Structure 1
Amino acid sequence: MVVNHASTLSVEYFIQYLELVIKSRQITLKEAEQYMRDQFFKGNPHLYGESTASRFKQAIKHIEKKENENERN
């Protein structure tokens, strides 16, 4: 996937990306998070800027919340 360094990626972008990684690799959110840090961010969480890094973290929190709600139901 090509990423334009000039744009800030959205929370929704990262939610979709993380969910795709989780489903396609059949891994946990924590494993997907590490995969993204290694592969997408190439070990540098601020590679695409502070805003993009922040939105990545927000996406993780969103998925965690969704998973917790699903566990309760």
Structure 2
Amino acid sequence: MTVNHSSTLSVEYFISYLELVMNAKQISLKEASQYMNEHFFKGIPNLYGENTALQFKKAIEHIEKKG
């Protein structure tokens, strides 16, 4: 997936991405979050900027609340 470094990715983007990873790999949210940190962010939380990192955290919180 190509990511534009100049734009902030949305909470909705990360919710969809996390749910896709969880469903495809049959893993928990925690495992999907770790997977994305390693592969999407390449181990650098602010790789795509602070705002994108914040949106990722909000997406995790949203999924946790959802259930």
Which contiguous aligned blocks of 4+ residues in structure 1 show a shift greater than 4 angstroms? none
Q: Give the count of matched residue pairs.
A: 67
Distance in 1 separating the partners of 2:54 and 2:39 = 17
* Residue 33 of structure 1: how far off its partner (Å): 0.2
The one-character-per-residue Cα deviations of 1:12-43 (angstroms, maximum 9, x if unpaired) are 00000000000000000000000000000000
Return the structure number with greater helix share: 1
| Structure 2 residue ranges without an equivalent (≥5) | none
1:58, distance to aligned residue in structure 2 (A): 0.1
Q: Which residue of 2 aligns with 1:14?
A: 14
**What TM-score does the superposition give when structure 1 sets the normalisation length?**
0.91
Could you say which structure has the larger radius of gyration? 1
1:2 offset after TM fit, Å? 0.4
Show the counterpart of 2:63: 63
Aligned residue type for 1:47: L
Structure-to-structure mapping, 1:1-73, within 5 angstroms: 1-67=1-67
Q: Percent identity?
A: 70
